[in-house]
Structure 1
């Protein structure tokens, strides 16, 4: 009789224990450019080498133990500079031994670290964020939703995506109604490169609907190097400029690289439409909830009447 009661109680209790164990072991299947990976749900320790993902984790209100590159940490992410967060170095020169000692449940990287994918995968599951995706907006929203699922807060992620979609629609309508054409430039120690549709700054044209001043810009990681004569001849209505030197903590050889006789002849210069974009957001991070909203708002501002 006692054996029967014990077996009956076990039948009631064990399923609950099994469910708890199953929840603990639960994973989410994610696909990225290097393959498919099983990501743990509610990871307790996360090494984040992608600033966009770092900011999204913060905005979703979850609090895993974090390891991250603190050198050149964008000012808007300064809350992650405290001693409670493990320092991994920089996004390009990070310390793998420190990551290993941190014992992460999950590692998040971007294209800057993808050459180390296999090595990092031997430490913990690795998710690769495609920061150079053709559909940058779609990729960013996918990553926000994924992190919402990983950390068990899909409703927060959905709300963030909804707000982003509304801002995109509003900006796109203004840009298209203006009829203005823009040129996106990266300045770096006196050198200038142009970026168009499908490039690392393609969000301006591909997602936000801003017309290109030059539709034939060569797509490449480093853009298409251009001259001041090219900019003057193109004569764009708007110039969006990202200063890489500032982003990585160096002073440019000429901090006013676009302030010269040729560029000052353009409609953009004459109408006060040379827009200096936040370099930490556009060059170092991007793709997270904070940076994506800031990027959209900076572009929208170029098409908003200033009265």
Structure 2
């Protein structure tokens, strides 16, 4: 090799080394990117729902929700839904008028094909759609179905908080979940402090202009409050059910029990407020002649749940109602 060839050979060698190093760096960078992408794609969180341990993509990319109790929480957290039963949502929920959310209809004739078309990786199922769990599992096998309905053998208050906490884990909103649960606990404590032990309580549902009896313990929505707060029932009816319209009861039976407090859920206010024949629960009770001398009516101790309760039975609804009830109880002499 002569003197003129040496620099050229050296330059070629250096260039080769540079290309190799550059290629190695690029390869390393590509491998790192691919590794990061793979890590993101496989990220998941394990949560416990009503059926055991569920593995959920974290964060889930496409979400379908059917459980009315979860809508307000998901909306407050700005969770984008691909599909949901908007027909079952009150107008107090942001999704109700959001055309970007495919409406799968109500639970009687749901559009299950719309759920398949959404191709979700997560379905937050429950309440009125609980019977469709197996259908969803068969139709969308790659989706994780999570159900957090309050379990009948567990205290409602703890179950509502469990639901919020698990959703917080799934959507990385644990701090927000704790805040919601904390507000709920504070509202409950206010009721505990305001209730005078021994005061009798009657719970009713008003639907179609008729007053239905809500049984302590088992009755829909208001029934569990008797156990949560150890309310003294004004009346206990043998064989009472958990019917969503309450059990048949005469106004005279309510009057004879003479409750100190009457708690009311206006079912129609959530689903038939636009109906020409709709009569607010307050009017039904105020116009019931037999109730005028009842202690609760005479002392203005009739407390109504939020108007959207029947289609929005989540933890926020109960928190609002407990605070309203606590305010009323705090005004006692």
Counterpart of 1:285 in structure 2 is 312
TM-score where L is the length of structure 2: 0.78
Structure 1 stretches lacking a partner, 5+ long: none
The 5-angstrom pairing of residues 148-297 of structure 1 reads 148-175=168-195, 177=196, 179-189=198-208, 190-200=210-220, 201-214=222-235, 218=239, 220-222=241-243, 223-249=246-272, 250=275, 251-252=277-278, 256-258=283-285, 259-281=287-309, 283-288=310-315, 290-297=316-323
RMSD of equivalent CA atoms: 3.1
Cα distance change of structure 1 residues 173 and 198 upon mapping to structure 2, 3 Å threshold: farther
User: What is the Cα deviation at residue 221 of structure 1?
Assistant: 2.5
Decide which of 63, 66, 90 is 1:74's aligned counterpart.
90
The 5-angstrom pairing of residues 32-43 of structure 1 reads 32-43=49-60
1:231-273 CA distance string (max 9 Å, x none) = 1121101111112223222544786433322222311111122
Counterpart of 1:302 in structure 2 is 328
Separation in 1, partners of 2:180, 2:127 = 24
Higher relative contact order (CA 8 A, sep 6+): 1
Structure 2 stretches lacking a partner, 5+ long: 1-16
Counterpart of 2:167 in structure 1 is 147
Separation in 2, partners of 1:207, 1:20 = 48
Cα distance change of structure 1 residues 210 and 129 upon mapping to structure 2, 3 Å threshold: same
1:180-210 CA distance string (max 9 Å, x none) = 2211111222252223124332342233443
Which structure is larger by alpha-carbon Rg, 1 or 2?
2
Separation in 1, partners of 2:305, 2:178 = 27
Number of aligned residue pairs: give it.
303
Q: Which moved more, 1:240-249 or 1:85-94?
A: 85-94
Does the CA-based 8 Å contact 2:258-2:296 persist in structure 1? yes
Does the CA-based 8 Å contact 1:198-1:206 persist in structure 2? no
1:114-154 CA distance string (max 9 Å, x none) = 22111112312212232463411111111111111101121
Q: Which moved more, 1:122-131 or 1:166-175?
A: 122-131
TM-score where L is the length of structure 1: 0.84
* 3-state SS of paired residue (2:92): helix
